[in-house]
Each structure stands twice: as structure tokens, then as C-alpha cells.
Structure 1
Amino acid sequence: MELRHLGRTGLRVSRIGLGTMTWGQDMDELDAAEQLKTFVEAGGNLVDTADVYADGGAEYLLSRLIEEFVPRSELVIATKAGSVPDADRRFDGSRGHLLSSLDASLRRLGTDYVDLWQVHAFDPGTPTEETLHALDLAVSSGRARYVGVSNFCGWQLAKAATWQRAVPGRTPLACTQMEYSLLQRGIEREVLPAAVDSDMGLLAASPLGRGVLTGKYRHGTPADSRGASPYLAAFVQPYLDQRGRRIVDAVATAADGLGATPLQVALAWVRDRPGVVAPIVGARNAAQLAAALSVESLTLPGEICRALDEISAPIHFYPDHDWSAL
């Protein structure tokens, strides 16, 4: 699998990442092992997790599989901290919480360091400089090799990136992780330009539109799908509207013309968008993951990309458009 640099750093990651959000919750150790084996054999090295996935269970499960299939040194382990199970405070970006969370993640992962540590979301209740100081301390102490953020809007990302570059000795942000797909292109307005301008790479979460872009929902909701799950149905539902159907139909048409699958077309589109380093793919089993990894050999023709761009184009108004004629 092709490797790409993570932003303006020397760290190279596979251009498809393996997501573990369901590990330890909807996926047992045997299925996770098959996925990791399939991923590594395909040349993948970037494995993305978080301290809140299965309440730490995903990190612990990953630790049980490391060394069995691949040496720790050959994996790029990325984890996150900052989300908290508190109805009154969804995110805690305080220095104390973040560093304590990192230590707990390292214990669960059974490693002395993570290759990439990310703040899971912006915390409006904590000064940004305090949150970012935790990242500096993580790197200077050797507990994290590179750092990034996740789910920051445009101004938050630009502020954080500028702060880290303002004084020598601070650790520049290597990347941001955001949802990005043909069904969700909102980050193109401000987040993606801010990331590119700040030499940060983008890790694209939910690149298959929460599974909708695979075409599995075109004729109903499969019983074994996320859309049929009592706690994930609301996650899928927003993309099952009329606009979503038009985009999925266009992806299916492109796939038919290319002799590919809708999954391959949708994943190739986001993988090769400007600024994207790697889409993060979560699969239900090894067969699904193998189907996603098969996109490595596919590059979409320019006319297909332009057609998909057009039908999925987000609507941007002021101040993105030229209002000088008004």
C-alpha cells in the first residue's frame, strides 16, 4: 500500500487507515484479529482508536493483538483523548485530564508511546493554550511522537495551528481528523483550507458516509446493518434523505461504468482529495475490510471525479462567494 507523509512531518502512514470504533463492543477478539491481519498483509500501518471506544476496550483489544501479527515498531498507533461520559460536559480539554487519559491509554495499549495523539474535540471551557500545552508535554516526555486534533471547526483549527507555530519549541500539529465523504463535504468551506494552509494532513473519518455510500441502503435497511441497530440508526439516518439517494445513485452508476463497486468509487474519491492523507475505514469483518483495501489499485478518471463533485457539491454562500456584484 502506498505511504503518505502525515502533514509536514517525517511520519509516513498508509493511505488507508484502520478504524477500531466498534472493537471491544460489537466486535470480538477473533474478528478484530482477522481484520488486523488482513490490514497488515495489505501493507497498512495506520490504526486509529480512542480512549472512549468501548470505554477503553478497543485500545486494550489492540494491545492483545500487537506482536501477534506485526511488531509494534511497524504500526502507527493513533489514539485520542478529551471525550468524557458527562452529560454536562461532553469534552474535557484540560491539561490534567488529557495527560491522565494519555497515561491510561498507554497502559491499555501496553506501549511506552503512541505515534499520534489527538485531542478528540474542542473544549470551550478550557483555554486553548492549556489544551495545546498538554500536547507539548506529551511529545517532550516521549509519550507521543506526533500530535493532532479532531473535530475542530475552521477558526478553532487555525487558532490552534497558529499558536503552536508562534513560538519555537512548541510542537506543530501534524493533522486533523474530520468526517469527510461525498455525503459530508462541509469541511471544504473552512476546515480543509485551514489545514492545508497550516501544513496539516487530514484523516478522513466516515469516508463511506456511515456506510450509506456502499449502496447497501438503496433498496431498504439490511437487518445486520448499522441502520438497523437501535443505537446506531440515528447515526445513519441523516444520509438516507433524497439528496443522499441522488449521490448514492451517481456513485453506483460510476461503479457500473468502471467495473468497480460503489464502495471502491466512494473511497477512491475521498482518498485522493487535496489535503487528505488517509481515510479511516471501519469494517464489520475482515471480508468487508478486504473489499475496502482493494481500492488501492483504483484511480478515478477525471470525468468521473468531476461528475461526482458536481452532484455532491455543498452549498456555500457568504463569505465564500464573490458578493461584489450585489
Structure 2
Amino acid sequence: MKYRYLGNSGLQVSEIALGSWLTYGKAVADNTAENCIHKAYELGINFFDTANAYETGQAEIVLGKTLQNYDRSSYVVATKVFFPMGDKPNQSGLSRKHIMEQCDASLKRLGLDYIDLYQCHRFDANVPVEETMLALDDLVKQGKILYAGVSEWSAAQLEKAAAVQKEWKLHPLISNQPIYNMIERYIETEVIPVSARNGISQIVFSPLAQGVLTGKYKPNESIPKDSRAANNETNMVINSYFDERVLHVISKLNQLASDHDMKLSQLALAWILRQENVASAIIGASKPSQIEENVKAVDFKLSEALIQEIEHTLEPIKDFHPAR
């Protein structure tokens, strides 16, 4: 495994992280989830991402219980706050009240004394950025979190947060967690440049487009019965990629990967890690063998010629925007 510094901090995270969205706490049995976490740790992954809203806290519980087996200083836990944790007015968003209460709740579920990286799961237009940033700064000062980050914030929102933190001399954000893969590349235009200027790294989710970039879905073929897309609860996310143009491009990428002795998933991850501003790519896994295959991506450094060949292959879908 290889490691990168997260933002302008001294925190090092593995280039491949293990996430728990759509899997741990419900879709994957607890013992299987535990086996995946153990395998990830064994292979050098030190970065584990979850959120309070994943199965209403159950994913945090599964992750925290499994990580109790290891030295606390050897792994990095990231969780998030924003989405509803109840149906009352103050049980969602980025108010000081919700942030403080949910941090304590996440610590309890995880069974930890502190959270390494606490992330604002989305931007909250109803709460002043100053209130949110001050709350995060207080959590750092209290020792409940070590670093703060955000997820899916726009370039303008990142700039605003950075300006507030500089003006108030607060602990800075060190990460943003956007979707990023060969199909969805919006962050390249503004988010990455703004982040780089402000010492913020990307921790990208859905690097394999919910499994579409593994090559398991073929043009003009039915969806495999044992695939994630066959799960009704995740159909909306994955189906957004099921466009004939996209599937034909992926078929060509699959051949390109094979020509270079790689799996398509490894090519897709190595392509993401070509970005210096990306610190880590979050993979999901329902079985340990998937992790074993994906971590090998860190050993592939794509040549400039191969990157150009990939860009040429992706050209037909450069204007594709998944409908959700």
C-alpha cells in the first residue's frame, strides 16, 4: 500500500480507503463486513470511511466494533454529519446543535475517544458557514475530532469556508469528498484547482461508478442477477450510468486494461490516483477478494501515452451527465 498526506496536514492515509455506504450495517452481513475490514487492514489500508446516516448509525457500529482489534494509532476513521437522524427540526443539517450532538453520538457508536476526520456530508444553505466552521473548530479544540473536512461541496462553498477559517484563524478544512470517476469528472474544472490553492485534498467516492467500471455490465446484455444493480435498493444510483454510449466506452476501456495486464477496476483506480490532489479513493466491498484486486491499483503508474489513450476512449461521453 502507498500513502498520501491529506491536505496541508501531517495525516497520512492509504491511497485506497474502505467505505461502508450501501454495504455495512444492512446489505452485507456483519460477519462479512468484519472480514472485509480485516482484509483491508491486512493489506495496508489504514483509512476507513463511514457516516452517521449510513443505516442510521449501524455502519458506524459495525466499523467501530471491528477496528477495536487494532492499535488506535494505526488507523484513520472518517465519519460525517448532515443528513437526518430523526424527524425533529434540529435532527439534521449543519447547525452547531446538530454537529455537537451527532459528534457525541458517532463517538459512542464507533466506541472511540476521538474521530480522526469529521466531515460535513453536504453543504447546508440554511446555516451560516461561520456557525458550522466554528462548531468544527471547537470540536478540534475539545479533542473530539482531529481534523475537519466536507463532502460534495462546490468550489464556491470551499472558497467561502476557507475565507471564514482564515479570517477567524480556525483550524482549516483538509479534505473534500466528491464523486469522481471516469464517467463523472466535474471536479476537474473548478473543485480541484480551488482545493489545491486552499490545502484541501479530495477523498473520492464511487471511483468505480458503483461497479459499472468493473466491466461486469455489458452493452445489450441483461444485468447479472448477483450484481449490485440487481438490488432494488441501489437501482436508482447504478441505473443512472446505464446508457448505451457509456457501456460501449466501458467495453473499450475493459479491452484497454486487458492489453496492459490490468483489470478494468485497477485501471479506473490508477487513473484516479494520477491526480495529485486526490489523496485516496474509497472502494466498497462485499467480499475480501474485491479488496485484494482493487488495492493492486496503487502499483500501476499510468504512462502519459496510456492516459492519452484513455482520454481518447472517453471522448464520446465527455458530455454525459447521469440523471438522478
Q: Is this a same-fold pair by TM over 0.5? A: yes
Q: Within 1, Cα distance between the matches of 2:87 and 2:179?
A: 23
Give RMSD over aligned pairs. Answer: 1.9
Supply the AA of the counterpart residue of 2:57: G
Equivalent residue for 2:305? Answer: 303
Counterpart selection for 1:244 from 246, 267, 276 = 246
**Cα drift, residue 91 of structure 1:** 5.3
* 1:32 aligned onto 2:38: no
Aligned: 1:266 with 2:277: no
Structure 2, unaligned runs of 5 or more: none
Per the alignment, residue 323 of structure 1 pairs with: none
Where in structure 2 are the equivalents of 1:21-60 lying within 5 Å? 21=21, 22-60=23-61
Letter of the structure 1 residue corresponding to residue 4 of structure 2: R
Q: Aligned residues: percent identity?
A: 34
Q: How does 1:135-150 map to 2 (within 5 A)?
A: 135-150=136-151
Which amino acid in structure 1 is aligned with residue 148 of structure 2? V
CA distance, structure 2, for counterparts of residue 86 and residue 235 of structure 1: 24
> TM-score if structure 1 supplies the norm length?
0.92
Aligned twin of 2:184:
184
Output one character per residue of 1:159-215: Cα deviation in whole Å (capped at 9) or x when no partner.
Answer: 1122112232x0100010000000110111221211111111100100001110001
Q: CA deviation at 1:85?
A: 5.6
**1:201 is aligned with what amino acid?**
S
- State the shift of 1:88 in Å: 11
Letter in 2 for 1:247: V
Residue of structure 2 equivalent to 1:210: 210
Question: Given residue 11 of structure 2, which amino acid in structure 1 is its aligned partner?
Answer: L
Which segment is superposed worse, 154-163 or 260-269? 154-163
What SS class does the counterpart of residue 38 from structure 1 fall into?
A: helix
8 Å CA contact 1:91–1:123 kept in 2: the answer is: no
Deviation, structure 1 residue 95: 0.8
Q: 2:102 — aligned with what?
A: 101
Distance 1:104 1:91 in 2: 13
In structure 1, runs of 5+ residues without a counterpart are: 317-326
Q: Secondary structure at the match of 2:78?
A: strand
The answer to whether the aligner puts 1:155 opposite 2:156 as a matched pair is yes
Q: Residue by residue, what CA displacement relative to the aligned partner does 1:79-138 show, whole Å, maximum 9, x if unpaired?
A: 001111679989511110011001000000111101100000001111111111111011
Give the aligned residue type for 2:230.
A
Q: 2:175·2:200 contact (CA, 8 Å) conserved in 1?
A: yes
2:87 and 2:183 mapped to 1: Cα distance?
Answer: 29
TM-score in terms of structure 2 length: 0.92
Output the CA distance in 2 between the equivalents of 1:193 and 1:25.
37
